Structure 1
């Protein structure tokens, strides 16, 4: 297998490190060749705090991925998160030397490079420069300026910034694990690649990725990234609350959260208890599921209120910026029972759980179905895009029939309607062009027809 045929996504998370090897099949979907997973020992709230342990965890995950895929791994696309991440809006422009020549990809890159020279706060570095809308001379709201003519090329940018130290620590861990970092991608952007549809991004949607140490948010509207942020709380702090509130060890607290945790105490019975084994001959401990849900609910509500604050900061409650597609919950934390109902109530937006295998072709055993794999699969997709661009491979068009929407995996109230169309014979291209009349042409045709009838 040639090296450029496959790509690798490496998710360095707070609770786990996942390496996924895959390639694109003939239908444009992702074919996963192998998966490696290791416990993350040196990462806290998305930030590396122990270099040697993180290197060891990366090596373990990559070795498992190599073993299961049967291909050597050299380059990886890595995700970044953490409370140090912030974003800002910026407008910039360039004056083109030869306006008679049409705008090319090189002009766009030149404009991006100019934005990358922005002076940041001490110790900060630009991670992403994401164009939103372009303006050519006096013509605004242009989505794709390539091929147009103009002297002045201007754009609004969404700029993602992170701490230089954190970025270099990740780069060092990857390098010392014997790998080359192909690209560094913001984790909520990677998750959005794997769980959001084009229709949702157009209608307006917020992806809320609840990981072990952080909750990452990305907001899209009109197919444009509008807002990104990282909240420094995730599933780990819920486990800590259960440990403290129920006076049990962390291992038991995590098991309780995963198996019996609920975000809505009112849906739990007072009479239902779970027994936790005592330590070293001590008596067993009985914990009410309602009490457990109350502990979980307090922290989840706090996280959702922070999400609400970010939605307000973007302006999601204004009519023009309204998120028609609501919220998509993903990440390991979204497995919590009744979280969707609480999110609906707290934010006022409809929500669904984002499954990570919507674009995966060969997930027959549903191994990658869990939302906890959303970021890793998104990073793999990002890596495949980079490889395709480098080798001049055309991006496959997004086809509705290739997307198994999450509603087929988990029936929710936000089920997408099914549109049925009757089959019509294919029209030759020449006739298609002839049929595309402008409004003015249509009026002229009808006037002409009228006078012919009068005669």
Structure 2
């Protein structure tokens, strides 16, 4: 401490930049608004303990940090606090498209758009957790997001607010910092007896020292090209809008030199570094041959790899920004690669002057002239030290629905960020619209929408607020989900556009009938609720039956038990007939219930008691069988029955001409046949056997087939009988 008697140790800032290949430690002294780098030390990792910015071996990394700490403590006294940055390459970027069904009649509000954007960020968070098999989605801090595009009904649109449509969509790129990165960083520091004084993100650190606030309204891309990865950050409208990472960087150029000239890794690294300042380069390949080439020849051999690196960096910038930025700044050791700036400018379609490497000269205001800090590799370490004083990242602790939530204050944090960090599903906050009903009405589809859901209640410290309301330490946030809309309901009466009527007369009285409804082919009351996917037909009555039902003269719902019937049994077979007869006439002509009817028709309808039939009318023909023969009597045909019918009704003998009684049990039996004689004919013919008064007539002549016969002569089928006086 003897070198700096005027500085108390706590005033010095100890900053660490933990990279994939090496760790840089700085001691920075703040003097008013300026910063002076007092000391610097660099150590490379002895083994692959870092991978793409993530600490894989905490103990190995803490050893390197410990050595740097010891080295600096020899000159500057005990160091207990350190400023660090989470590597840009450890950030996870996810692109997500999210849809929001809209109410058909309402315009899109700012709240709708914010809900959609935060829902997309939350979906990105969930997808990221799923990809990395992480159960707790809140283990990823959202450190920034940018909207790539808005869509309305699938069409690209500049701004959704006040638009109307069916589906609003947003395409969002969200960047997350895994909590594991911070946890491993803390663990490595604690092993060395260091507390985290401040945390920042490497891209933010670099932007803080490279790009003044006055320049941040410009659309600038910052690319930190390290050994393993190239980190990309974008600024616009005064804020850092997006982060990204490309897994290609300086090592790709080293590999290209190894392949082109058969070099081992350390020799290829030496050649790569010499390219930035030497015109002639000498090296020894793995076969022991020495070569001396001009730097132009060396660059020419690896130009395809340089072009490839530039192309991938440019593609990531375009993906994050949606368009070429106004300028590109390259930092990090890999930015010194020859021809890289020209190739990046070509890939982005920018003038070469708009892409530049920014080194120690760009941060001279902070560094001054320091012999060790001579290139773009030191921009980020200095930025980390500056951020520790100017933009320290703190935890913000708020409560969401009485649960304490800690959030990294990496940017202007809002109520929406707090809700995401708490794990609340933002999509579920707004009440869902009720289920719609889809109907087919007279062959056309009709959709009956459900009720609207109500918006959520979101309050900060007891006052209503929006998702974009800024939050600060200790805020109390309450978020209550809105109520879901009621499911759609519909009755036939709701579906009727115009009410036609059918005019006609029934029993000489004028009648006016409205439409009827058939649902899935069955009659349906006009005021009864309809089920989803029903097929509805609405029309005027068409048949006599429908007219009588609508006129209240025919009970459509009458069950068989309610109606009176006339029943009887003949030889064990029951017959059931209505107790009342329906008399139907249209225009004076008999008609049936199923007959069609037209406007203006004169309909007559009445019911009369059923007239009981005679027994003969209800005996089936097959029960009425009697054997008979046919003969001719005096030239006339005569049928003689050979057997007699025996009829009983309710157990008593009955005549065939008697009326059937209700509930009667009738039995019909035929007696065995007997041979007929001449006298049987007299039952079927009307003939007088008295002798006429005429003179000369003395005797009665009886002939069968011309032969004399008597009353007892037996007859056969086809016999010719004659009877006369002479």
Q: TM-score, with normalisation over the residues of structure 1?
A: 0.63
The 1:279–1:181 alpha-carbon spacing in structure 2 relative to 1, beyond 3 Å, is: same
Write the distance in 2 (CA, Å) between the matches of 1:360 and 1:176.
Answer: 34
Write the distance in 2 (CA, Å) between the matches of 1:2 and 1:131.
Answer: 40
**Structure 1 counterpart SS, 2:89:** coil
**What is the deviation of 1:278?**
5.6
Q: What is the aligned partner in structure 1 of residue 222 from structure 2?
A: 207
Q: Deviations over 1:349-382 (max 9, x none)?
A: 3112222452644522353241101111111111
Q: Which of 126, 131, 140 is equivalent to 1:126? A: 140
Q: What is the aligned partner in structure 1 of residue 309 from structure 2?
A: 303
Q: Does 1:23 align with 2:41?
A: no
**What is the deviation of 1:253?**
0.4
Q: TM-score, with normalisation over the residues of structure 2?
A: 0.41
- For the pair shown, which has the larger CA radius of gyration, 1 or 2? 2
Contact kept, 8 Å, 1:13 with 1:40, in 2: the verdict is: no
Q: Does 1:48 align with 2:49?
A: no
Q: What is the aligned partner in structure 2 of residue 9 from structure 1?
A: 15
Q: Does 1:176 align with 2:183?
A: no
How many residue pairs were aligned?
Answer: 333
Q: Does 1:370 align with 2:371?
A: no
**Structure 1 counterpart SS, 2:316:** helix
Q: What is the aligned partner in structure 2 of residue 403 from structure 1?
A: none
The 1:223–1:212 alpha-carbon spacing in structure 2 relative to 1, beyond 3 Å, is: same
Q: Which of 225, 247, 250 is equivalent to 2:240? A: 225
Contact kept, 8 Å, 1:76 with 1:179, in 2: the verdict is: no
Contact kept, 8 Å, 2:26 with 2:41, in 1: the verdict is: yes
**What is the deviation of 1:215?**
0.4
Bigger relative CO (Cα 8 Å, ≥ 6 apart): 1
The 1:345–1:386 alpha-carbon spacing in structure 2 relative to 1, beyond 3 Å, is: closer
The 1:216–1:249 alpha-carbon spacing in structure 2 relative to 1, beyond 3 Å, is: same
The 1:199–1:245 alpha-carbon spacing in structure 2 relative to 1, beyond 3 Å, is: same
Note the 1:283-302 alignment, pairs <5 A: 283-287=289-293, 289-302=295-308
**What is the deviation of 1:283?**
3.6
**Structure 2 counterpart SS, 1:213:** coil
RMSD: 3.7
**What is the deviation of 1:254?**
0.6
**Structure 1 counterpart SS, 2:363:** coil
Contact kept, 8 Å, 2:222 with 2:233, in 1: the verdict is: yes
Contact kept, 8 Å, 1:36 with 1:63, in 2: the verdict is: no
The 1:64–1:85 alpha-carbon spacing in structure 2 relative to 1, beyond 3 Å, is: farther
Write the distance in 2 (CA, Å) between the matches of 1:309 and 1:60.
Answer: 39
Structure 1: which 5+ runs fail to align? 92-110, 134-140, 142-156, 263-267, 391-455
Q: What is the aligned partner in structure 2 of residue 247 from structure 1?
A: 262
Q: What is the aligned partner in structure 1 of residue 603 from structure 2?
A: none
Contact kept, 8 Å, 2:216 with 2:238, in 1: the verdict is: yes
Q: What is the aligned partner in structure 2 of residue 277 from structure 1?
A: 284
Q: What is the aligned partner in structure 2 of residue 427 from structure 1?
A: none
**What is the deviation of 1:87?**
5.5
Contact kept, 8 Å, 1:330 with 1:355, in 2: the verdict is: yes
**What is the deviation of 1:329?**
0.8
Contact kept, 8 Å, 1:206 with 1:220, in 2: the verdict is: yes
Q: 1 or 2, which has the higher strand percentage?
A: 2
Q: What is the aligned partner in structure 2 of residue 330 from structure 1?
A: 331
Q: What is the aligned partner in structure 2 of residue 354 from structure 1?
A: 358
Q: Which of 204, 213, 218 is equivalent to 1:198? A: 213
Q: What is the aligned partner in structure 1 of residue 408 from structure 2?
A: none
**Structure 1 counterpart SS, 2:377:** helix
Structure 2: which 5+ runs fail to align? 1-6, 99-117, 148-158, 160-171, 396-726
The 1:229–1:57 alpha-carbon spacing in structure 2 relative to 1, beyond 3 Å, is: same
